[in-house]
Structure 1
């Protein structure tokens, strides 16, 4: 199993966004068709919700729609207003050493359901770079003010009117410069499901915010989070994802005074924090590291490959990453690496599903 990762950059919504859209929309549109019954008021409701919650994004949303084809289904999707249940689980932590704060996260899912793109933009005048989630949203990222953010699924099935978390992460990084501002933004924007968002800034301040559609945001100083909030509230998912086991492992690690960033990365690349259960939809697709002080972004994969970027100098690259399923001879070895100085041109034709999913199915990230 293999996946082609690429990095793209642009200042205004243009060619890079068109490439991301062409790559991801075949799968997302299939998701829209299967999981959403259109109503005549959908677009009106989405615009009013954006105007109320993220007024700075209304014009940007119009630009996205124009670039991606001005289709009503596309417009509704790119608004991320009240999507079906969306599960993005993962593991993330904040660590501080002599290089300043570090945000590290594992993204776990079926490799074929990941958009495999590091996108750098200056759509609103601020440089924002991160891993694409939902074409214009982000699963994790950092901005040029030195603020980094990442998300995990919060382990609850409750859903209500609100925004999908990838757009909320994009909003935080476009609008905020530090943890205090990020926390206020997370409190003010309604999330349609429960997620855990970790934010860290260049000063070394950090917070983990538990978002939910049915209760106020809970702000904690936890340095790590997996896929539950106040406790495991969805037992089946908790067992499948081993959320408590991963959290307990991190708690032990963070109690050790000799813990280093290199050792923490090593722990993120092996069980219980890493997984090779790709056939079950729960395998580690990438590990991302964000350094707010030095503005460095690193992506590390389970096949042993690594890619390092400067926030202000992300260029066009492609890299073929191999994924070894559980039970194979090795899941961390040599890499078949290719770096090609051109943009991605051919989306996977079988990319038919997405990370939006029924919570009763064990397909998680």
Structure 2
């Protein structure tokens, strides 16, 4: 069965002129799915605000500005990303000096599919998730960051990782600075982050039960220091994908072919897009088989495109 998905591109400025609010309200049923139904309580909301103020004080004013536009009792709790459902995706990524290339693998109906250009604290372009989090992105300082699931089904207190990417890109200029900041932020699930700037790249293993640990190379699939169980490997092919991306390097054509290009969409593990970030140049190109969409700080184009998925070469 074939799959298609519509991706959009929007500009939201500093979040104060109503564009972000119009978008978020129109997508609220989809976005609010991420709020854990067991954490829709005043107590959880208060703990989320306190955690946010402790670890991301620079973004408190932005979050409050956005929450006011949602005009919903649980909107502010949602935007703290401290009360989110757990979610486990696929993905493969590799970084180098001035380059970050990634495949994002997930269920099509659960991916927001929005490329956003914002200026909350500084110019940022990225693939948005859950309203203002990011699956990957870059800032005007030449820093790019992306995430993959770390393969371990653990959960603890902390933030859903898309907000952590937003925070790093809003407040950091280099990969070293971002790694240092990452060591201070609790993350609720096991995640691999690859960070790239003009000087180099690094992958960091993170999770609620481990200290952030630098990987041997600036690339990742869906495991960390230890292999995943055999059944999980058969389904996700994480070691096979990591070996492949190590062998071919940052190669868009290889990302659009198996084993890096995944087609298990009905099981929630199909490749939804390939993003090729050139953060030092301020541009990113999104790729699908037979389709390409470039965005940049110099020329950001709003609109939408519907693409066919699962037609790997």
TM range (shorter): over 0.9
Q: Which residue of 2 aligns with 1:251?
A: 246
Whole-Å separation in 2 of the counterparts to 1:46 and 1:37: 10
The alpha carbon displacement at 1:8 in A equals: 1.0
Whole-Å separation in 2 of the counterparts to 1:54 and 1:37: 20
Whole-Å separation in 1 of the counterparts to 2:33 and 2:187: 23
Cα 1:221–1:128 shift into 2, 3 Å:
farther
Q: Which residue of 1 aligns with 2:61?
A: 59
Whole-Å separation in 1 of the counterparts to 2:240 and 2:73: 43
Which among 21, 24, 41 is matched to residue 18 of structure 1? Answer: 21
Q: Which residue of 1 aligns with 2:171?
A: 175
Whole-Å separation in 1 of the counterparts to 2:248 and 2:12: 39
Residues 274-317 of structure 1 deviation map (CA, whole Å, 9 limit, x = unaligned): 01221221111100011022111100013x11011222321312
Q: Which residue of 2 aligns with 1:307?
A: 293
Aligned partners of 1:90 and 1:105 also within 8 Å: yes
The alpha carbon displacement at 1:26 in A equals: 0.9
Q: Which residue of 2 aligns with 1:206?
A: 201
- Please report the TM-score for the alignment, with normalisation by the length of structure 1: 0.80
Q: Which residue of 1 aligns with 2:47?
A: 45
1:265 aligns with 2:267: no
1:290 aligns with 2:277: yes
Q: Which residue of 1 aligns with 2:160?
A: 164
Q: Which residue of 1 aligns with 2:111?
A: 114
Whole-Å separation in 1 of the counterparts to 2:237 and 2:271: 13
The alpha carbon displacement at 1:170 in A equals: 0.1
Whole-Å separation in 1 of the counterparts to 2:241 and 2:231: 16
The alpha carbon displacement at 1:6 in A equals: 1.3
Q: Which residue of 2 aligns with 1:78?
A: 79
What's the C-alpha RMSD, in Å, of the aligned pairs? 1.8
Q: Give the match's secondary structure for 2:211.
A: coil
Greater share of strand residues, 1 or 2? 2
The alpha carbon displacement at 1:19 in A equals: 4.3
The alpha carbon displacement at 1:114 in A equals: 1.2
Task: Identify unmatched segments of 5+ residues in structure 1.
Answer: 255-260, 325-330, 334-365
Cα 1:192–1:177 shift into 2, 3 Å:
same
Aligned partners of 1:82 and 1:192 also within 8 Å: no
Residues 121-156 of structure 1 deviation map (CA, whole Å, 9 limit, x = unaligned): 0011x1001000111100000000000000000011
Aligned partners of 2:284 and 2:296 also within 8 Å: yes
Whole-Å separation in 2 of the counterparts to 1:205 and 1:111: 32
Cα 1:47–1:242 shift into 2, 3 Å:
same
The alpha carbon displacement at 1:237 in A equals: 3.1
Aligned partners of 1:127 and 1:312 also within 8 Å: no
The alpha carbon displacement at 1:221 in A equals: 4.7
The alpha carbon displacement at 1:109 in A equals: 1.2
- Please give the residue correspondences for 1:113-192 in structure 2 after superposition, counting only pairs within 5 Å: 113-124=110-121, 126-192=122-188
Aligned partners of 1:156 and 1:234 also within 8 Å: no
Task: Identify unmatched segments of 5+ residues in structure 2.
Answer: none
What count of residue pairs does the alignment treat as equivalent?
310
Residues 163-199 of structure 1 deviation map (CA, whole Å, 9 limit, x = unaligned): 0000000000000000111001111111011100000
The alpha carbon displacement at 1:239 in A equals: 2.7
The alpha carbon displacement at 1:241 in A equals: 1.0
Q: Which residue of 1 aligns with 2:10?
A: 8
Aligned partners of 2:35 and 2:83 also within 8 Å: no
- Please report the TM-score for the alignment, with normalisation by the length of structure 2: 0.93
Cα 1:20–1:238 shift into 2, 3 Å:
farther
